[in-house]
Every structure is written in structure tokens, then in C-alpha cells.
Amino acid sequence: MTPSLIQFDKKRLGASPGLCGVDEAGRGCLAGPVVAAAVWADAKFYDSRMRARLASAVNDSKQLSADDRAELLDLITLWRDKGVLRFAAGEASVMEIGVYNILGATRLAMSRALKTLADAAPGSHPPFAPVGQAGDPLFAAGSPAAVPVLVDGKPLKPFAWEHHAIVGGDGKSLVIAMASIVAKVTRDRALTALDKVYPQYGFAEHKGYGTPEHVLAIHRHGPCPEHRPLFLRGILDGGKAALGAEAVGEDDQSEFGF
């Protein structure tokens, strides 16, 4: 696992000054926002001892315990403070999921994470920028110094950011795996906070996923404002939960331009 994560990234790093990974959390949940994270790693990171320490512990966030993910986020934050990593999170609300569908909302969350990361970049150039943006961004398509953006999953269309889609990327790329951890921990903490507002649903336990306990609570109490109406149609109609891609369709592409 460890060598492949590093080798995968180094093959795509080439002569660029860094590499960026993007992933999301919460796409298939019945409640709460969808959260994305973008992690940028300096090229020097891949030649340092610290990357081996991270790679030995990092895995797809779904394979780690909550405590493991929290500890790894602390470690990722430490390397950010040392200046070799940067990361940012972005989210799309339940209302935006209803307006743009889950795929459009996922693109929106990812775009927000990338923009926050770019805006916070030191120096005269951000590490990446939307395709077609004025100026001379490092991540502009065709630039010899372009920083590759690796996104977990299938190609995002439409999407304002030049990117490479990596199916199963959170288990292949170290920088995507780190983004997976940032997104998952960020969203889990948001749902834990939401549990204090709506304690009857158990958000702190299931984090909005369609567990039997969550479905039972919806039947008992009805949905709250943080539930996704489209995803509840099957439950409220007495059928199976319409989760994620089942609710929208993998091939559905909205006109939302993120």
C-alpha cells in the first residue's frame, strides 16, 4: 500500500511544483451537506521523510476508524504548518443539493474547496486556477509548470477546473487519500454538531447515512430541515431509501457550471 500511493503520485508529479488531490464525503447520505476537500502537496514533500510517515498510515478514509482519521488530520495539519502541505474544505448545503442535484452539488463543493485553496496560496500566483481565468495561473491547462489536480471518481462535467479523474483514487493516490480524510473528518464534525440541534435522529452516530436506526427515527419524528427531500422519497413512501446516485442517476449532468 505505502509504496504504491507514493509511486502513483510521483509518476504524475513530473516537473510540476506540486500535486493536488480532491475528494468528497457524504454524497450518499440522507441528511447534511456534501463536503469536499482539496489537498496540495509541494514537490519537496514527496522527497521528504514525512511523506513516508503519512503514507504508512493513510488509507481510503472509509477503511479507517474515526480516531485514526482524526489523528491523521492532526498530522496533515502539522505538515501544513511546516509549509509543505495546504488544504481546504468546501461544502454544498442541503438546499443546494435540492437545487442542483447531488452531482451538481458535489461539483460545487469541490470547486469551493479548490477556490479557497487557490485564494490562500502565497506569492503572486495561486497553485491552480479555473480554466480560462485571466492571468498566468500555475494550474492553467498547457502550462509547463501546471500542477496536476487529481479528483477521485469519474470526470466532472461541467467543471471549471482542469483535472484528471482517478476512479478509486482514494486508494491509489496519497494526495487524494489525504483529501478523503480531510473531507470525512470535516463532515463528521459538522454532523456531530448537528446532533446537538436535532438529537432525536442520532446524527453523531450515523453521520446522516441511511442506517436502520436513522430510517426508524425519520419514521418516528418525520424529516428535519437537514434531511435531503429527494433522498427520502423512498423512505416516506414506504420503500427503500433513494441514496446518492440512485436518487439522481450516474449519468445525470445538470447545467450547473461547477
Structural domains in the chain plus CATH codes:
2-192 (3.30.420.10), 197-247 (no CATH)
pTM of the model: 0.84
Higher pLDDT among residues 225 and 137, named by residue: 225
Residue 34 has pLDDT above 70, yes or no: yes
pLDDT digits over 150-188, tens only? 999 999 988 888 899 999 999 999 999 999 999 999 999
* Alpha-carbon Rg for the chain in angstroms: 18
* Highest mean predicted confidence (pLDDT) among 6-10, 110-114, 140-144: 110-114
Cβ(190)–Cβ(67) below 8 Å: no
Residue 138 has pLDDT above 50, yes or no: no
Provide the pLDDT for residue 6. Answer: 87
Cβ(26)–Cβ(169) below 8 Å: no
Residues forming a β-bridge with 36: 24, 90
Higher pLDDT among residues 122 and 4, named by residue: 4
Residue 141 has pLDDT above 60, yes or no: no
Instruction: Name which of 246, 252, 186 is nearest 210 in CA terms.
Output: 246
Q: Nearest 5 degrees, angle CA 178-CA 147-CA 16?
A: 110
**Calpha distance 159→132 (Å, rounded):** 12
Give residue for cell 427503500. Answer: 240
Residue 122 has pLDDT above 80, yes or no: no
Which range is least confidently modeled, 33-47, 97-111, 143-157? 143-157
Residue 196 has pLDDT above 60, yes or no: yes
Which range is least confidently modeled, 51-60, 96-105, 145-154? 51-60
Residue 250 has pLDDT above 80, yes or no: no
